[in-house]
Structure formats: C-alpha cells, structure tokens
Chain A
C-alpha cells in the first residue's frame, strides 16, 4: 500500500481531531510545495484537548537573540524554537528534507505512531531538542516510507522539568534504543519503556550531556 501525501495528511487529521481546510491537497508524487494555504485548524474536539501535564509552553521568541522578525517566516521555515501555527503543515522536501510536518500533544504520540505503523511507515529516528529559553523539551519522530519515499516528521513539546512522553517501542521496537539514547542525553522520560537505562553512556551515568545547562 502506498498512500499519497494527501491521504496521509487526511489520516492525521482524523487521528488528531482537526479539520483540514477546503481545497487541502498536495501535488502528486510527493512534491508538496511550500504554499501557505495548506494548513489545518484545531476543532474543539475533546479528544484533542491537551492534558494539563503536557500543555505546550507559549511560543515566545527565544531570549537568545534570534533576530528573525515573526512576520518574515513562512510555514516552510519556521523560526527555531517556534511552534508551527497549524498542527499539519506540508513542507518542501528540497528545502527542509521532509514532506509533512505534524505537531501533536504528548499523549497523541502513541496514536500517530500507530497510524504510521498502519500506513506501513518505518521509524527513521527519534531526536530530542532542549529549548531551555522556553523551558520546553521537544521530541521529534522521523518516519519514512519504503515505497512512496514520503518523509513525515511528528513533533511534540513537553515542559522541560517534567519532560515525559509515552514510549512507542511497543509499536516500533527500533524506537527502544532511540528512546534510551534520548533519555540518557536529555533526561526526557519515556513512560512505559521496558528498559530506560543508559545505552551509550556508562551504566551508572546520572547526567544528561545534551541539556543546555549541562556542565562537564
């Protein structure tokens, strides 16, 4: 089964409980262009309401001096550290490296992983990013499809001091090691993980070297 980019986006909208704007479609062949009309809006569906523990922090500009005026950014290149205005955004592969960018709440990570599994996607990698200025931890899931070559990025944000997202290692066993690595380097907990011990660091390591406040 090789779903098209539009079908994938529609499947995401059903899982996330958001409605896509009329005329929502992507160019065939996975070459979605960076047009701003293709966005989705959140509905007041109870299933998509974020739980208090995972409320995304306000999208304030990092106080680190990033001098990009807010009006100049497009969906294809959001300012670093900014949360996209819409949960489902088409991106241009040639300028970013993936086709579809989906922002979810932490509990929705499981549903999106199940969706990706159902659509025959493969888990490429799990990445953590420490946004210390905004007191947030970002977890990025990269997916790819063998047959259609579509690349999907699913990202979520959790509070930095209580960073916890559900594990997807039950769905994608390859995530087991990626999550262990993200946990040991950034201190992000993966709830339900069978063995959240250091993988590359010494087995008794309690430090998290990729946290921005880490001092060697």
Chain B
C-alpha cells in the first residue's frame, strides 16, 4: 500500500547522496585508477579521482642513475606511446649538450613515432568502444595494431616498451624490409579507416552515446592545461609539432584535425583523423628518407650536459609531454621533471563530470584516453 507520506517523499526529490567507488579495479578505468563518486541517484554530484596506485617515482629514479641509464624508464611512463616519450627525453638532453642529430636519424624517429601514435590510437579506439559496449571493433583494431607491433619488434626487439632512441640518433638503422613493411602498412591501413567509418563512426548507437556528451571547452582546457585530442576537440588548433616545431616535422605536409564541438564525438573524430594524418607523415618520411649516419659521432658514453635547466616538449599520442631537466654538469641529472598529458587531462574530470549520468561519465573518461601509469609516473 502506498502511503501519502511516501508519495510526498518521493516526489519532493531526495537530497540524499551516496558514495560509489569506481575502481581501482574497474575495467572502464583501464588500469588502477580509483574515482570516488558522490552520486545523487544516477547523477554525479562530485567525482574525485584518486591516482597513485602504480606510482613508481620515475623522477627520483632519474636522480640516481646516469643520463643514459634513464632511457629505459622513458618507455614505461606511457607504455602505449613509448617512442614519443623517449624522443622528448633524448631531445632534452641533446638540447642541453648541443648535440646535432643526423637527418636520417630524425626521419627514422618521425617514422617510428608516428607508427607508435597509430598503434596507440588503435588501442584507444578498441578500448573506448569496449567501454561503450561494442566488442567487435576491439578485435579489428588489435589485428591492425599487431602489424605495427611486428614491424617495430623487428626493428627494436620490443613490442611495447621500446628503448630505441639514443642521444644523437637511434640505436640501429632501418633496413629495406622495414621500409617495405611500413609502406605496406600505410597501403593496408587507409581502406581500414574507411571500413571503421562505416562500421563504427556512422553507427547510430555510437553517435547517440557521444554527440552532445561530456562538454569540455577551450577555457576549461586552458585552466587545467589539457592537451592533445581533448584540446583539439575543443576547437583549439594546438599541436606541439606545429607550436614548438621539433625534429623534421616542419618538412612534412599534414593537417591538424580540429573539431569545435567539445563533446566526446569531437575527441573521437580528432583521433580517427589523426591516424590518417600520421599515415601521410609516414609516407612522406619514407619517400624522403635521406642516406647517411643514423647516430651522431663523438657523443660521449658518459653524458655531462652543461649546467642549467632545459625543457623539451613533444606531441605524444595523449597530448603534450614535457621533459624538464636540471643539470649540474655531472654524469647524473640533478632534477628530472616529467609533465604528462594524462595527468592534466584527468584533473579536469571533476569539473567536467559534474551533473552527468554515470554511463555518460564513463564515455567522457574513455574519450580522455587515459593511461594510468602516465598519471602516476
């Protein structure tokens, strides 16, 4: 029997809230991230991310080993974007020690970094769709990614945590087999992107889950320091490859995909378009690959960069990654600061998710493309 007082209580709306723990072992957080949600029914009133479960103190490790010994660490910060992270670190030390990198080495760095970006975006694509409840795209995406991993494994010996770049170049030259394989991948991947558009992007269920969900505007990005696809999906034409040009990127024609809507769909479309642009860069770099040495001569085995502090920023798959080194002119760094994109991109989640429904907030979190060790370092 329904009592009058029950009807009054239910229709008046309750101001009761409850705490819901998302993670640290929830599959939608892709790793060990805990989010403490204060819920009002299905709606989020407050979301407090609790990172740090796999904190390893890379910055301290940098202070007790030589400059070269830190190289393997760089690929374990964001394990999906290892090439770009190693690039930022070696380039910061090269900037400090004024080492000239041969052109061929820079081309090889661009080719491998862009291949790595495509493979990272494919993981995001598959995992994001999995978050939203679509299982099939993951199988396609991992199949395509496997081809990149095989290529890079043949070159570097690793499938994920590459330690391929060295101060002054790369550790070994690419051969005809790699060039052929990279060309074949570009040819193979282009029709796949069309297939993804028909299979996934134009799918009405996906569009209803993403369009108009999880708004992040330019000003929020600015106040929180968000970067990467989050920023470009908020209509800001900012890419470190253009803003602070590095390596040989200025020599290539490529577009920076920008979508002004600021919703989950915009961030989705930015990354899908970035795959196509990376393929363009790889193709041009393979065409223009110069002959010559792949490693600068005369780089000392024991680096001692001149005293001072130096920064180097790269556009990693998740956004702006900056290495700030402080040298005292010794064989070990005095201070090593790693500014990671996932850290800043997650910090806006509390504000962006306020008032959202829980399933939509998971779409928002997936569209940020978080890698948890990148946050925790």
Q: Which residues of A contact B (CB under 8 A)?
A: 62, 64, 66-68, 77-81, 93-98, 120-125, 127, 129-130, 140, 142, 144, 146, 149, 151, 153, 172-174, 176-177, 185, 198-202, 209-210
Beta-carbon contact of A62 and B328 below 8 Å? yes
Find chain A residues with CB under 8 A from B237 CB: 146
Beta-carbon contact of A129 and B59 below 8 Å? no
Find chain A residues with CB under 8 A from B351 CB: 173
A153 closest partner in B (C-beta)? B311
Beta-carbon contact of B311 and A98 below 8 Å? yes
How many chain-B residues does the 8 Å CB contact rule pick out? 50
Beta-carbon contact of A97 and B326 below 8 Å? no
Beta-carbon contact of A174 and B224 below 8 Å? yes
Q: How far is the CB of B324 from chain A (nearest CB, A)?
A: 6
Beta-carbon contact of B52 and A77 below 8 Å? no
Beta-carbon contact of B309 and A122 below 8 Å? no
**Cα–Cα, bound, A176→B346 (Å):** 12
**B339 beta carbon closer than 8 Å to chain A:** yes
**B306 beta carbon closer than 8 Å to chain A:** yes
Contacts of B304-356 to chain A: CB distance below 8 A: 306-313, 320, 322, 324, 326-330, 334-335, 337, 339, 343-344, 347-348, 351
**B78 beta carbon closer than 8 Å to chain A:** no
Beta-carbon contact of B225 and A129 below 8 Å? no
User: Considering residues A97, A125, A198, which has the most beta carbons from chain B within 10 angstroms of its beta carbon?
Assistant: A97
**Contacts A80-B328, A210-B59 given: A173-B310 contact, CB under 8 Å?**
no
5 tightest A-B contacts by CB?
A97-B311, A174-B224, A80-B307, A200-B52, A149-B243
Beta-carbon contact of A200 and B328 below 8 Å? no
Beta-carbon contact of B312 and A97 below 8 Å? yes
Beta-carbon contact of B307 and A173 below 8 Å? no
**B166 beta carbon closer than 8 Å to chain A:** no
Find chain B residues with CB under 8 A from A174 CB: 223-226, 344, 347-348
Find chain A residues with CB under 8 A from B320 CB: 124
A212 closest partner in B (C-beta)? B63
**Contacts A80-B328, A124-B339 given: A209-B60 contact, CB under 8 Å?**
yes
Find chain A residues with CB under 8 A from B334 CB: 80, 129
**Cα–Cα, bound, A97→B223 (Å):** 21
Q: How far is the CB of A206 from chain B (nearest CB, A)?
A: 15
Find chain B residues with CB under 8 A from A176 CB: 347
B320 closest partner in A (C-beta)? A124
Supply 11 further A-B pairs (C-beta < 8 A) apart from A97-B244, A172-B225.
A77-B308, A79-B307, A80-B328, A123-B225, A129-B326, A142-B311, A144-B243, A199-B52, A200-B51, A200-B52, A209-B60
Beta-carbon contact of B343 and A79 below 8 Å? no
A195 closest partner in B (C-beta)? B48
User: Considering residues A94, A123, A174, A202, which has the most beta carbons from chain B within 10 angstroms of its beta carbon?
Assistant: A174
**Cα–Cα, bound, A95→B308 (Å):** 11
A-B contact pairs, 5 of them (CB 8 A): A62-B328, A66-B329, A97-B311, A97-B312, A200-B376
